[in-house]
Structure 1
Amino acid sequence: MSEITLGRYLFERLKQVNVNTIFGLPGDFNLALLDKIYEVPGMRWAGNANELNASYAADGYARVKGMACLITTFGVGELSALNGIAGSYAEHVGVLHVVGVPSTSSQAKQLLLHHTLGNGDFTVFHRMSSNISETTAMVTDLANATSEIDRCIRTTYVTQRTVYLGLPANMFDLKVKASLLDTPIDLSLKPNDAAAENEVVETILSLVKDAKNPIILADACCSRHDVKAETKKLIDITQFPSFVTPMGKGSIDEQNPRYGGVYVGTLSNPDVKQAVESADLILSVGALLSDFNTGSFSYSYKTKNVVEFHSDHIKIKSATFPGVQMKFVLQKLLKVIPSVAKGYKPVAVPGRPAPNKPSPANTPMKQEWMWNELAKFFQEGDVIITETGTSAFGINQTPFPKNAYGISQVLWGSIGFATGCTLGAAFAAEEIDPKKRVILFTGEGSLQLTVQEISTMVRWNLKPYLFVLNNAGYTIERLIHGEKAGYNDIQPWNHLNLLETFGAKDYENHRVSTTGEWEKLTTNKDFNQNSRIRLIEIMLEVMDAPSNLVAQAQLTASINAKN
């Protein structure tokens, strides 16, 4: 072929950057574009239940594979997706949002089309999205259409932020040179300014040389901006005690003997709190210092010797070095730090949580017990997704196995995110390794917001574990305010009928009310293999919650009540 359609060009480019599943919904302004997906071998259309769920799914896929693509239609479709898009933007997740828009002639004539506001303004939705996008493009000229597509894909991948790409319906079938695909999109980072980079590295080395009690603290952007390997080498070379934040779970190997636990300010384990806050040097990799990620901003470092490594700048104490990217700094640091850190004498890291004490088999399930017990069920390489609420806090006390990847939307915190995210993560995991397990923990209240996406899991024969924590309503909200208020109640569902309702043929349902039932289920050899989709309902008391969530809820209620 000497020429291909612009629509096919888009999907060929996405395949080249390892995006093989496209999320979204059909609409009359994108239908001809969706036809082109089926022309590209190995590409599939997920076909979501609604645009919000699709945006959550794209987020989950991108976190596991590095980038995702979401396609919606103009106006009604794209606006339905914006909550999820905003979350991806906030949490540094690379999602390309492609919108099929009315034809260029319809826009020029300002026709009173459906899905518009009725005022002839075809740019309003694009302008809305520009506030939650790293960059945007509205293609109107074939001459620069391919270069704009390439630019949007590169920006999505490199910055790990959302990008908006509008494509008019009359341009999908226009032809472009197929040879353009022969030159790969440049996904490399531009080098740092050499002088600034050298100054940063020399300053860090000076701090390391003088430090007696340094630590490493890994946060969300350690994973998002692909410096997990560099951070692991830094830990191995220096032997500094290493910790993660709630958003950083999975950023470093928790089986490493230098791993000390999760730091959440005042909500931390006392030994972890002491170890972090008494440090005289903190090397902070990829920090996102939101309230729930810091125990309501209760970080209490005793030192001002803090080095923050970010994707687009470095901060050392009170000095900021804009444009200096952490990946290159860490790579350079790894070459020179051994001679400086060789004098460091490793100190003991906080011990692992004590295992649960044996209990009678008929002991009712408690969250504190469950989160401590879960480490026995997890396997190397698991993708572990926890919903905003009790799950996102409970998982902090669960040690992860090697190469486990944690997903929890701690910053944006959109209730219902995790179920849609699980769909996307399951697609991505299947593409990497069909045996890779994807495990969801969500509340039965959160599930009601996005439950339709279980239907899409069934449609594609995906095999996640869906743990539904049933405590009769919004427990996290009850803990913050309104323990007995009606607005924190929900309509009870028959959860064990959901998979059958959504058409599943090969599936399992389980209800767990006691510790004995949990142990029997989770030690079953067949249950530990992701051979089919499973829904496991965990029955809990109404106000049962992890201890750190109870403490966080008290802090949040106090902050909300202040003038």
Structure 2
Amino acid sequence: MAEPLLLFPPQPETKAHTTMSDSEVKIGSYLLERLAQLGTHSVQGVPGDFNMGFLDLIEDHAKLRWIGNANELNAAYAADGYARVKRTLGAVVTTFGVGELSALNGVAGSFSERLPVIHIVGVPSTAAQGSHSLLHHTLGDGRFSAFENMSKEISVDSAVLKQKEGAGEAIDRILVSAMSKARPVYLALPTDLVHATIPAGALKTPLEYSPPPNDEDAEKYVLSVAHDHIAKAKSAVILVDACAARHGCIEESRELIEKSGLPVFATPMGKAIIDEDHAQYGGIYVGNLTTEPVKQVLESADVLIMLGSLKSDFNSGNFSYRTPRSRTIELHSDYTTIGYSHYPGIGMKRLLPKLSAMLAAGGEKRREETMQVVPKFTNVLPDEKGDAISQAWLWPRMGMFFQPKDQVVLWGSIGWSVGATLGVALAARELQIGRTHLFVGDGSLQLTVQEVGTMIKHGLNPYLFVLNNDGYEIERQIHGPQRSYNDIQPYDHSILLDFFSRPKTAQQSQEESHSKDPKPSNKQYYAVKTKKELDELLSDADFNVPDRIRLIEIFVPRGDAPTALRRQAEATGSANKYD
């Protein structure tokens, strides 16, 4: 068994453990202290000449770790993955202009998926901005606001510091916005304000970002209407979606399920919010892409209670829900709808416990009825001929490999998953939970493969499953299966972990060659081409111990794809018809 990794390694004695006095604190340190208070301990980013004074403070902070990514896009993806698992702010630091622009794609993804990320941009001094100097990294026209204006479109709040007065309040405001609204925020931090001091007193009071109480009379009315709908229904079911997690309502959702006794299902983005071994759990609902037993129970219900619904195309089977609005109760972070009635300001965080208490009466009877109708999933390997690893065989076999609290990262925007895995692995280590598994295609891997080096640098030990199907298979499923634009330049994955590792010195190589008891490698590559090879590998006890970073290249047939993914690709291709 590997030695446990420390969340924060011992610091050199020369390292400063604080940068503030009882009364005054540097603006940069104020921000970092707030991040630490919120539970953010890993900071992603790339150095640049306008942010390095701030990076000094990060490296000197006793509770923070500077990660240092290969590029800004990857850093934003890592912040996204970190926020998902840590359920707090992901933080990414870039430099002005070229650096921040590179991060925007990742930040935009966090905006669309409702994740709190703070994008901290080191910008030129207030004097340089005031004189409209034609600095490098600008557009050459003296406009210093161009880039921040771009970020406003993908941020729920922003602060551009111009002076030290009010800086602490501005920082607190955007952090609260990020946490309460589960969206990214933007902060421009000029070089000359990083070390400027402000009062430190506010840091003694933790930030408050819980939702405000619902209007008491309105809430009582909404509860009575909801209860009336459910009481009259012959059948009611619960559908849990992503925003139940994004807005801190996981425990409240679980309480509703327990007390109500109702069947519960999840969307793809709501997967794992509810324990899939729970007796009331029935499976995943994706509109027309849903398995028939799940679809039958959910779509025939008289009332559907939706928690934190996020009806994107991939999350809803290309908008193919067959759940009439008249039979739907939707609970969101800041409003509720029942049928065709809309109740603004009635948020689920406060409403759910009261709805749970109301439905507790009769919960056991409903639970007994639930046991009769909820479909039960059994993970069975298909009886296939041949040695090739099909998608139909791969995923049931992987399901047998996973352990409780394992973190699994797959698909998404091409390239997102590799950077996100870095953030997920960091968060999992800080929380001391489960192993981290990445499933990525050989094509997607190439977009952000550099972050494998960052994983090695920080001693992370994820399992990197590379599905080698000779190119962009998801794109082939959508359009152009024989087109060359869906092909890629093949990589030699067998040397990838070595390539991203520090080369051994001549002395180390010599010592290893003469050692009778050489140290085990901190990395390992496997090439897997048959069902038998994969089965034996996944069954190996040593392989199941996450004591090193592993890259497992699984060769799967070109043209093969999971059934649900193929059907989603067909729906996407149909929606994108070119003639």
Q: Shorter-chain TM-score category?
A: over 0.9
Identify the residue that residue 350 of structure 1 maps to in structure 2.
375
Q: How many angstroms does 1:224 deviate by?
A: 1.4
Aligned to 1:68: 90
2:493 and 2:553 in contact (8 A); partners too: yes
Instruction: Report the counterpart of residue 4 of structure 2 in structure 1.
Output: none
What residue number does 1:423 align with? 422
- Which amino acid in 1 is paired with 2:537? L
Distance 1:562 1:324, change over 3 A: farther
* TM-align CA RMSD: 1.5
The amino acid across from 2:461 in the alignment is K
Structure 1: segments with no counterpart, 5+ residues: 389-413
In structure 1, distance between residues paired with 2:561 and 2:97 = 40
1:384 corresponds in structure 2 to: 408
> Would the alpha carbon gap of residues 357 and 368 (structure 1) be closer, same or farther in structure 2, given more than 3 Å must change?
closer
Amino acid at match of 1:425: V
**Identity of paired residues, percent?**
45
- CA displacement at 1:304 relative to structure 2: 2.2
SS of aligned partner of 2:551:
strand
Q: Which residue of 1 aligns with 2:221?
A: 199
When structure 1 is superposed on structure 2, of 453-462 and 504-513 the one drifting more is: 504-513
**Residue 450 of structure 1 is aligned with which of 448, 451, 455?**
448
Match status 1:131 vs 2:156: no
Deviation for aligned residue 1:358: 5.6
Establish whether residue 561 from structure 1 lines up as the match of residue 577 from structure 2. yes
Give unmatched runs, 5+ long, in structure 2. Answer: 1-20, 503-520
2:32 pairs with 1:17: no
Q: 2:113 aligns with which of 88, 91, 100?
A: 91
**Letter of the structure 2 residue corresponding to residue 364 of structure 1:** A
Encode CA deviations 1:336-381: one digit per residue, 9 max, x unaligned. Answer: 2212656533332112145114667x72101111112222111111
AA of the residue aligned to 2:546 = N
Asked whether 1:370 is paired with 2:394, we answer yes
Mapping of 1:439-518 within 5 angstroms?
Answer: 439-503=437-501, 506-518=522-534
Answer yes or no: is the 8 Å Cα contact 2:260–2:356 preserved in 1: no
Inter-partner Cα distance in structure 1 for 2:344 and 2:187: 28
Which of the numbers 60, 71, 81 marks the counterpart of 1:50?
Answer: 71
SS at match of 1:491: coil
Q: Structure 1: how far apart are the matches of 2:244 and 2:374? A: 21
Structure-2-length-normalised TM-score = 0.90
Aligned equivalent of 1:395: none
Q: Is residue 172 of structure 1 aligned with residue 197 of structure 2?
A: no
TM-superposed deviation, 1:42: 2.2
- In 1, the alpha carbon distance for the partners of 2:364 and 2:143 equals 64
Deviation at 1:332, TM superposition (A): 1.6
The answer for the alignment partner of 1:396 in structure 2 is: none
Structure-1 residue corresponding to 2:326: 304
State how far apart, in whole Å, the 1-side matches of 2:365 and 2:549 are.
52
- Change in Cα spacing, 1:266 to 1:562, as seen in structure 2 (3 Å) is farther
- What amino acid is the match of 2:173? R
SS at match of 1:385: strand
| 1:56-91: CA deviation from partner (whole Å, max 9, x where unpaired) | 000000011122111111111111000000000110
Q: Which region of structure 1 is more displaced relative to structure 2, 551-560 or 98-107?
A: 551-560
Q: Distance in 2 between matches of 1:301 and 1:470?
A: 38
> Which shows bigger deviation, 83-92 or 544-553?
544-553
Q: What secondary structure, in the 3-state scheme, does the structure 1 residue paired with 2:171 have?
A: helix
Find the counterpart in structure 1 of residue 6 from structure 2: none
Aligned to 2:361, the other structure's residue is in SS state helix
Do residues 41 (structure 1) and 39 (structure 2) align? no
* Distance (Å, rounded) in 1 between the aligned partners of 2:526 and 2:362: 55
Q: TM-score, normalised by structure 1?
A: 0.93
Per-residue CA distance 1:445-477 (angstroms, 9 max, x = gap): 000000000010000010111111110011111
Shift of 1:39: 2.6
Partner AA of 1:555 in structure 2 = A
Matching residue's letter, 2:470: A
Per-residue deviation, residues 167-218 of structure 1 (Å, max 9, x unmatched): 1111011112233321221232221222222222111111111111111111
Distance 2:428 2:197 in 1: 34
Size of the aligned set, in residue pairs, is: 536
SS at match of 1:441: strand
